Amino acid sequence: MGEWNKYFDGSNGDVFFYDRNRIQKENNLVNVWNRVRYKTSMMGAESYQSLIRIDCADYSETTLQSTFYIDDNWTLPAMATDTKRKTKTDINGNDALEALAKLMCKN
C-alpha cells in the first residue's frame, strides 16, 4: 500500500493524489504514481491511476501506464491497464499536473 497525499483540488471537484512512498528520482527525471478521484463519472470511470515521468529539466511529462476504475477507491478496473508509453507533453497552465511537477521538481 502506498501513502497517498492529496496535492490538488480541481475546480470541477476532482481530487488528485500522489504516492509519496513510490517516488523514484534519477537526475532530472521523477517517476511518480498519480491518482484522481472524479467528482462525476468520466466515461463510466469514477477514478484513475497512472505512473507518470516528470522531466524537471524541460518541464514535461510522459504517462508510462494508466488504469481507469469503475469505483472511486481504485479497486475495480474498468479495463486492462494501458502500458503503452504516451507522447511526452509540456507542462503548462495552472493545473494538477503543474502542481505535482512543482512538488516533484523541488530541490
Per-residue pLDDT tens over the stretch 35-65: 999 998 877 899 999 999 999 999 999 999 9
What is the number of structural domains in the chain?
Answer: 1
Type of residue found at 55: D
3-state helix/strand/coil string of the chain? CCCEEEEEECCCCCEEEEEHHHCEEECCEEEEEEEEEEEEEECCEEEEEEEEEEECCCCEEEEEEEEEECCCCCCCECCCCECCCCCCEECCCCCHHHHHHHHHCCC
Average pLDDT of the residues in 91-95: 85
CATH number at residue 24: 2.40.128.710
Nearest to 86 by CA among 57, 59, 58, 51: 51
> What's the domain range around 45?
4-104
This model's pTM is above 0.85? yes
Reported confidence tier of residue 93, pLDDT bands at 50, 70, 90: confident
Per-residue pLDDT tens over the stretch 28-40: 999 999 999 999 8
